[in-house]
């Protein structure tokens, strides 16, 4: 018998720019992965984490960096609990307070089918 809840974690990058992390592009494709709606996917932006690579970019960027990788790690753990399944198939920034997002924005996100990256083509008449 199959479990009624499923989660997948996948890192997808579409291109590499010399001197830039591929993290900025990974969310562009993750909303296209699920062929089965019972599998939850999230387009996660981990934020800017203080790393040796970030230090090479300069102090302006380092000021924007969070201290370490624990915030993205715990955001991923929280998304895996199922509490925020309404965000499945959507962009999620690890810098967001997910309780605040749920209380202030959840209704609008669901109503407007918001926070998704997609290509919409007109119907041929």
What is the pLDDT at residue 8? 55
Q: How many Å apart are CA 62 and CA 51, to the nearest integer?
A: 9
β-strand pairing of 43-45 with 6-7: unpaired
What is the domain extent for residue 11?
6-97
Does the pTM surpass 0.75? The reply is no
In a domain, residue 58? The reply is yes
Decide if 107 is inside a domain: no
Is 74 among the domain residues? yes
pLDDT in tens, 44-86: 888 878 877 777 877 777 777 876 788 889 999 999 999 999 9
Asked whether residue 67 is domain-assigned, the answer is: yes
Torsion angles phi and psi, residue 28, rounded to 5: -65, -25
Question: Do the domain assignments include residue 18?
Answer: yes
Report which of 48, 101, 104 is spatially closest to residue 72, judged by C-alpha positions: 48
Domain count, the chain: 1
């Amino acid at each position: 018998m199959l479990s009624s809840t499923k989660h997948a974690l996948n890192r997808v990058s579409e291109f590499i720019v010399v001197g830039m992390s591929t993290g900025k592009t990974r969310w562009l494709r993750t909303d296209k992965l699920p062929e089965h709606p019972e599998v939850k996917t999230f387009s996660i932006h981990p934020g800017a984490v203080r790393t040796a690579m970030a230090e090479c970019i300069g102090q302006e960027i380092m000021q924007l960096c969070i201290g370490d990788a624990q915030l993205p790690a715990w955001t991923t753990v929280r998304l895996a609990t199922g509490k925020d399944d309404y965000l499945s198939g959507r962009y999620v920034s690890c810098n967001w307070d997910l309780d605040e997002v749920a209380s202030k924005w959840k209704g609008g996100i669901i109503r407007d089918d918001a926070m998704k990256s997609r290509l919409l083509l007109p119907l041929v008449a």
